[in-house]
Structure 1
Amino acid sequence: MGNWKLNLGVLWFGNFLVMAGMTMIIPFLPLYIQELGITDPDRVAFWSGVIFAGNFVTSFLFQPLWGKLADRYGRKMMLLRSGFGMAVVMTLMGFAGDVWHLLLLRMLNGTISGFVPAAVALMSATTPRDKMGFSMGTLQSGGTAGSILGPFIGGLLADWIGFRPIFYITGALLFVASMLAMFVVKEKFDAGKAAVQPNVSVVAGLKELGKIPQLTSLFAVTFLIQFSMLSSMPLIPLFVQHLHPGGENLAFFSGLVGSITGFSNMIASPLLGRLGDRIGQERVLRISLIGAAVMFIPQALVQNVWQLFAARFLLGMFMGGLLPSVNALIRKHTPDGMESRSYSFNSSFLSLGNMVGPTVGGALSGLLTIRGIFLIATAMLFANAVWVSRTLIYRKRGL
């Protein structure tokens, strides 16, 4: 247990680099696709969506397998498998000769990914229980920081050194983070004890975990959180354009709307995690869900871009209490020896929300404006808070 703070520091850095690497391509992906020979605007838009989503599709499918192997062979081993594997694949993206190469590499990257859930599982196994919320919140802030700065760094580097060198740099940084984890991160894993455990299949493992009502509730909460948060994301640039007609720097303002939410999320995650250690993660999760639901209402009513910035900043503060609380509660309710598998299933539900949310939001945009989608997110998050109350808080009290 004495090494948990050192583990947390190294894995925070690793999460930062992984998420920065995943999001760094966002600003220049359509331009890179054009460099690969696709020039028609409609085909560029199509390939951009397919290539970006390819990573999440395979990640959703393969995360449970890596979780099963982590419980059997160790979380650190899966952490290093993912880190070194993504370092190689990310570097190869810089050598892509056409869009099919890039798509297949993105799908391969999703297949071998799993650094973040492995890091969460490893920290949950090495952190003292009374520090679990703080640990999960701090770890979450690393990934959030990477998601915020990744597109910004990618945009700067694209203008400075071109597209392909960015992939080489990202691969090298992921390699460094993996080497650091290999030599510094410590895990107490009883391989002998794990070897005598029944070799349960992925489907059987899901059924076994599904018998624990708290876990099924938490998996559903993760999906609904991501779905609610991301359903409006494809429409944000158009909404900013509507609020700032004829204004300059629309791309900058659109990026800032997303970044400001991540920035406040990064600040709040460790603080709300520490609060959860004091008053209970269930209560922090419910409060955060209600707060996030309320913060979508002013977004549906804003009249200028500055009001939208303020509402999105406050939304990020409450978002900081969501996934860290879920991760701490998953460890609380997961049987010993199945932690990695449980976190991997949760990661699959998170990837599913990442895929379905923007797709449904884009489809509904023809029927509703983004203001209506904000209100739908409010309703879903309120329903989620009721779900948490019934399945986690009242059940805990025996009501």
Structure 2
Amino acid sequence: MTSDGKLTEREIHQTIWASAIGAAFIGGGATLVFPFLPLFLLELGADRENVALWNSVVVSGMFIVGALIMPVWGALADRVGMKKMILRSALCLSISYFLSFFDQSPLHLLGARLFQGFSFGFNPVSQALLAEISDIHAGSAIGTLVGGRAAGTMLGPFLGGILGSLAGLRLPFLIAGIGDIGAFLLVLFLVKEPAVKTNKKHKGGIITSFHRLSGNNKFLTLIGLIIINQCAMLIINPLISLHIIELTGSSDHAALLSGLICGASGIAGVLGGPFWGKRGEKWGFKKVMVLSFAGAGLFSLLQFLAPSVLLFGMTQLGFGFFTIGGVTSITGGVSKVVDPEEAGSAYGINAEAMNIGNCLGPLLGGLIASRTGSLGLVFISSAILQLAAAAFIYIKVKEL
């Protein structure tokens, strides 16, 4: 650290990569247990008749609590320090998994998952920290972080399925908790935060910060766009297995093929995060947003037109590559439109908006498919959302 309290170039690069690897651990732990969560609920005593309901409550409850709490943790990070809040998140997440390891009933699991939602915050606060220390290179830094999380999210279900089948359904919870301890240690020893924070006056309380951000039209536009991006992405993903059955005419291997195709989308995220982050720095985040939304819309249409599973998988790869561009460019753009003193609050709200989009997408996709009886209209709806967003950005959004 320099004499004026700023980080050296080596410390900045060290912080970026430690944060990205930590995000991979956090993302991997979050998805490690997804493949068998309903089976674990059955093991804990849930009836087969209501296991689907229990699963929905456990998953949705976690995300609802997370959506409510993330803006608060982000605002606290502005006041008590970002590294402290990142450490708090990693430690509490590990505790939630250790609690799940010892669960004896579905109600116990629900409690542990609600506490997990309360522990959310690692990624949004890390984004705020990287944006602060990277300055003009915030796009690349955030892209690297997004790529790290995508890598963990992609590998988690595969590792969880293998561990669950070989060693029982409790072990993955223990491994997820240990992985989050690893993220905690990476942040503790390798992540650096500037000793001197310029422009951090913190006038007013948390509510005051939210009030100021609510009057920032550029920020609110980006929040709306991240909701659309996530909604358009998740409107499709839960229905992939059904679309594969339509393409093949059989349910044989549909689960395996769905996993492979979703994995391909995850690979696109790993590659796309750093790529789009660097493009945002060179071209401007507005251009990257236009390209990302337009490209994702085009690939939504190509998915609808793909006549085989192989071509559908290739279009999913392209779709994932462009949707991660939307996440990276919007997240990078947030640092350009908010004051540094409100970065934590802003990225907490950004993460909350992502969760809202993640919830709306599956609901909208299921509603369209059930009411019309056509999966094709779901792909078309996704394309319309993304192409309309691209046109809006091109016409209305100023350069970022």
TM-score w.r.t. length of structure 1: 0.94
Structure 1: which amino acid aligns with 2:18? V
Cα displacement (A) at 1:107: 1.2
Structure 2: which amino acid aligns with 1:187? E
Cα displacement (A) at 1:11: 0.6
Q: How far apart, in 2, do the equivalents of 1:162 and 1:278 lie?
A: 49
Cα displacement (A) at 1:174: 0.7
User: Residues 163-312 of structure 1: matches in 2 within 5 Å?
Assistant: 163-190=169-196, 194=200, 197-202=202-207, 204-246=208-250, 248-312=252-316
Q: How far apart, in 2, do the equivalents of 1:261 and 1:163 lie?
A: 26
Name the % identity: 28
Given that 1:288 and 1:319 are in contact with CA atoms closer than 8 Å, whether structure 2 keeps it comes out as yes
Q: How far apart, in 1, do the equivalents of 2:315 and 2:59 lie?
A: 28
Q: How far apart, in 1, do the equivalents of 2:211 and 2:387 lie?
A: 28
Given that 1:136 and 1:325 are in contact with CA atoms closer than 8 Å, whether structure 2 keeps it comes out as no
Cα displacement (A) at 1:205: 2.4
Query: In the alignment, which residue of structure 1 is the partner of 2:97?
Result: 90
Query: In the alignment, which residue of structure 2 is the partner of 1:10?
Result: 18
Residue of 378, 391, 394 corresponding to 1:373: 378
Q: Does 1:344 align with 2:348?
A: yes
Structure 1: which amino acid aligns with 2:83? K
Cα displacement (A) at 1:199: 2.9
Given that 2:24 and 2:148 are in contact with CA atoms closer than 8 Å, whether structure 1 keeps it comes out as yes
Question: For residues 280 and 69 of structure 1, do their structure 2 counterparts lie closer, same or farther at Cα, with a shift above 3 Å needed?
Answer: same
**Aligned partner of residue 367 in structure 1, secondary structure:** helix
Question: For residues 385 and 189 of structure 1, do their structure 2 counterparts lie closer, same or farther at Cα, with a shift above 3 Å needed?
Answer: farther
Cα displacement (A) at 1:191: 7.2
Structure 1: stretches of 5+ with no match in the other structure: none
Cα displacement (A) at 1:265: 2.1
**Aligned partner of residue 370 in structure 2, secondary structure:** coil
Question: For residues 193 and 280 of structure 1, do their structure 2 counterparts lie closer, same or farther at Cα, with a shift above 3 Å needed?
Answer: closer
Cα displacement (A) at 1:336: 2.1
Structure 1: which amino acid aligns with 2:394? S
Query: In the alignment, which residue of structure 2 is the partner of 1:120?
Result: 127
Q: How large is the RMSD of aligned CA atoms in angstroms?
A: 1.7
Query: In the alignment, which residue of structure 1 is the partner of 2:157?
Result: 151
Q: How far apart, in 1, do the equivalents of 2:40 and 2:103 lie?
A: 10
TM-score w.r.t. length of structure 2: 0.94
Structure 1: which amino acid aligns with 2:100? M
Residue of 143, 153, 161 corresponding to 1:137: 143
Cα displacement (A) at 1:389: 2.3
Cα displacement (A) at 1:74: 0.8
Question: For residues 76 and 391 of structure 1, do their structure 2 counterparts lie closer, same or farther at Cα, with a shift above 3 Å needed?
Answer: farther
Residue of 329, 333, 342 corresponding to 1:329: 333
Structure 2: stretches of 5+ with no match in the other structure: 1-6
Structure 1: which amino acid aligns with 2:250? G
Query: In the alignment, which residue of structure 1 is the partner of 2:63?
Result: 56
Cα displacement (A) at 1:189: 4.5
Q: Does 1:362 align with 2:370?
A: no
Residue of 6, 9, 28 corresponding to 1:20: 28
Query: In the alignment, which residue of structure 2 is the partner of 1:47?
Result: 54
Query: In the alignment, which residue of structure 1 is the partner of 2:4?
Result: none
Structure 1, residues 151-209: CA drift from partner, whole Å, max 9, x if none? 11100110111111111111112112201211111101447974x5223233x322311
Q: How far apart, in 1, do the equivalents of 2:339 and 2:251 lie?
A: 55
Q: How far apart, in 2, do the equivalents of 1:193 and 1:247 lie?
A: 58
Q: Which moved more, 1:259-268 or 1:115-124?
A: 259-268
Cα displacement (A) at 1:221: 0.5
Structure 1: which amino acid aligns with 2:327? L
